[in-house]
Structure 1
Amino acid sequence: MTEPWLSADDIAAHLGVTKDTVYTWIAEKGMPAHKIGRLWKFQASEVDDWVRGGAAADHDTVEG
């Protein structure tokens, strides 16, 4: 079974952030998103992996 595509509103609700934050993360932090026409679409599994990888962190440098 294939995973459904989520809208910006859906992924914002999934992550508990605003839609503006989602658009900022796409532009500035490389959040995984797919542009279909004028709309951004998301796969929750891709976004979850991206968040777990630390890419959504507030700081710009990765410690380690």
Structure 2
Amino acid sequence: MNTEPWVTAEQVSQHLGVVKDTVYRWRERKGLPAHKIGRLWKFQLSEVDEWVRVGGADEDSERKSLDHAAEPEADKA
């Protein structure tokens, strides 16, 4: 049984040294692991730390996903 406490976006922002808006943006655009509990997003620091270790917070990861989304689809003729 996992007894790790759930933390808030504010606590994650302090842990990572970023503003809270960045935490929410990373959750939405980069897949920062989060769990919706009621209407609040909660996090486990072990999941956040692993996400950072594998490169989830890299600047290039967001830029690449945004560049890919902006590419026009090839003609299907």
Q: By the TM > 0.5 criterion, same fold?
A: yes
Counting matched residue pairs gives 61
Greater Rg, structure 1 or structure 2? 2
Q: Which residue of 1 aligns with 2:27?
A: 26
2:18 alignment partner, SS class? coil
1:21, distance to aligned residue in structure 2 (A): 0.1
Which stretches in structure 1 are left out of the alignment for 5+ residues?
Answer: none
Give the number of the structure with larger relative contact order, counting CA–CA contacts within 8 Å between residues 6 or more apart: 1
Distance 1:16 1:39 in 2: 21
Which stretches in structure 2 are left out of the alignment for 5+ residues?
Answer: 65-77
Counterpart residue identity of residue 14, structure 2: A
List, as ranges, runs of 4+ consecutive aligned residues in structure 1 with deviation greater than 3 Å.
Answer: none
More helix by share: 2
Identity %: 62
1:13-32: per-residue Cα shift (whole Å, max 9, x none)? 01100100000001100000
Counterpart residue identity of residue 34, structure 1: H
- TM-score calculated relative to the size of structure 1: 0.89
Superposed CA RMSD in Å reads 1.1
Distance 2:20 2:10 in 1: 6
- TM-score calculated relative to the size of structure 2: 0.75
Q: Which residue of 1 aligns with 2:57?
A: 56
Q: Which residue of 2 aligns with 1:38?
A: 39
